[in-house]
């Protein structure tokens, strides 16, 4: 009898453990599978589903011939725009990469921001490429068809540029800077910082601080936001760099573009720093004070994000 009681006790214990483990196991209430056909219709291109449930769309940039290091590059070798959709709470998560020629960058960026997408990187994948090719990485969360429609808006913006000119053009719209003098004091008042003047260049540097390998690093180590003005008061250029935490990036992008300043790169400069920083490079041309106010607006947007974090 004791042996029978022990056996029943063991069975009951094992059964209880099994019930407990089952109750702790993930349930089948995961996000539903994505509809590839619906995503494709919204994007205006064919969509395919991978065995693990990811839906992908693509667009091969074959309409412009590209050479890299003197050799013609087949579009299949790295000139494909794409977006991938994965089921997630609230709909889907989207990540993608858009191949851009230089004159397509600002229109594509504007379209992405207007469509509510995040722009997470802008950089090159090649050197010695003709014409120069850039890559804009995008992301988003939400309804999968709406996300696909947003990607379509970006790609349509690119197509509209090529419809106007089959070959990429070699410069932004507007006259170039004209040599002359810059009113450093007026620029300082607009920026709200004291510049250094080196010849004809008026430069502002605003430091940030991070921890690198347990060591505090700041402006002198390259952890800074800066703006360099060249040309004349009437017609100047500004180029520079914003050092940003992740939650500041989209606000700075929007502020610069609303001021007509072009974003030309977005990437990291370091690894292992705390907090992690991203760096945005920009170029603008126009009246010097207007450019300075545009930079100031981006600084204000950045400060807004920092105050809320």
pLDDT of residue 30: 61
The two domains 36-164 and 184-308 share their CATH topology (first three levels equal) = yes
Read off the pLDDT band of 308 (50, 70, 90). confident
Counting residues of the chain whose pLDDT is more than 70, the rounded percentage is 89
Is the pLDDT confidence value at 15 over 80?
A: no
pLDDT band at 34; cut points 50, 70, 90: very high
Q: Give the pLDDT confidence of 241-257 residue by residue, as tens digits.
A: 999 999 999 999 999 99
The contacts of residue 109 (CB under 8 Å, 6+ apart) are 119, 122, 136, 253, 257, 263
Task: Tell me the average pLDDT across 168-189.
Answer: 95
278-286 vs 262-267, strand pairing mode: antiparallel
User: What is the second-level CATH architecture of the domain 36-164?
Assistant: 2-Layer Sandwich (3.30)
Q: Could you give the CA distance from residue 66 to residue 76 in angstroms, rounded to a whole number? A: 12
DSSP 65: -
Q: Which position has the token pair 């930079």?
A: 295
DSSP H or E stretch at residue 4? helix 2-24
Residue 307: its pLDDT value, please? 72
Give yes or no for a contact between 132 and 124, defined as CB atoms under 8 angstroms apart. yes
C-alpha–C-alpha distance, residues 175 and 143, integer Å: 42
pLDDT tens, residue by residue, 126-175: 999 999 999 999 999 999 999 999 999 999 999 999 999 999 999 999 99
Least confident window among 20-29, 107-116, 212-221 = 20-29
Which band of pLDDT confidence, cut at 50, 70 and 90, is reported for residue 309? Answer: low
Instruction: Burial-class residue 159 by CB neighbours within 10 Å (0-12, 13-18, 19+).
Output: middle
What is the enclosing helix (H) or strand (E) of 204? strand 201-207
CA angle 305/241/112 to nearest 5° reads: 60
Strand (E) or helix (H) holding 150: helix 144-164
Higher pLDDT, 32 or 282: 282
Residue with tokens 């993930």: 26
In whole angstroms, what is the distance from residue 46 CA to residue 216 CA?
A: 50
Q: Average pLDDT, whole number, for the chain? A: 91
What is the pTM for the complete model shown?
Answer: 0.87
Give me the numbers of helices (H) and strands (E) for the chain, helices first please: 7, 17
Q: C-alpha distances in angstroms, 234 versus 9, 118, 183, 288, 298?
A: 91, 34, 10, 6, 22
Whether 102 has a pLDDT exceeding 80, the answer reads yes
Per-residue pLDDT, averaged over 76-89, amounts to 97
The domains of the chain are located at: 36-164, 184-308
- Helix (H) or strand (E) segment spanning residue 289: helix 288-308
pLDDT of amino acid 18 = 39
CATH number of 184-308: 3.30.70
The per-residue pLDDT for 7 is: 45
């Amino acid at each position: 009898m004791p042996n029978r009681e022990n056996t029943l006790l063991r069975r009951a214990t094992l059964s209880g453990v099994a019930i407990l483990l089952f109750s702790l196991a993930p349930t089948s209430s995961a996000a539903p599978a994505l509809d590839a056909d619906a995503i494709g219709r919204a994007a205006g291109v064919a969509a395919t589903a991978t065995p693990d449930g990811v839906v992908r769309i693509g667009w091969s940039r074959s309409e412009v011939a590209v050479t890299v290091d003197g050799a013609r590059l087949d579009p299949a070798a790295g000139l494909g725009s794409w977006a991938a959709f994965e089921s997630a709470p609230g709909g889907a998560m989207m990540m993608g990469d858009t191949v851009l020629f230089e004159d397509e960058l600002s229109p594509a960026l504007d379209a992405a921001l207007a469509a509510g997408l995040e722009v997470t990187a802008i950089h090159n994948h090649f050197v010695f490429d003709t014409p120069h090719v850039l890559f804009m990485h995008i992301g988003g969360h939400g309804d999968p068809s709406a996300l696909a429609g947003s990607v379509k808006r970006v790609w349509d913006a690119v197509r509209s540029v090529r419809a106007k000119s089959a070959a990429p053009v070699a410069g932004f719209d507007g006259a170039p800077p004209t040599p002359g003098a810059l009113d450093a004091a007026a620029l300082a008042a607009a920026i709200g910082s004291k510049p250094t003047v080196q010849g004809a260049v008026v430069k502002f540097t605003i430091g940030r601080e991070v921890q690198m390998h347990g060591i505090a690093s700041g402006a002198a180590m390259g952890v800074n936001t800066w703006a360099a003005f060249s040309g004349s008061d009437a017609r100047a250029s500004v180029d520079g760099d914003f050092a940003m935490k992740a939650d500041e990036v989209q606000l700075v992008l929007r502020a610069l573009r609303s001021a007509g300043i072009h974003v030309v790169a977005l990437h990291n400069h370091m690894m292992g720093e705390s907090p992690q920083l991203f760096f945005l490079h920009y170029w603008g041309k126009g009246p010097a004070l207007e450019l300075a106010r545009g930079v100031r607006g981006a600084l204000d947007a950045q400060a807004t994000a920092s105050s809320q974090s």
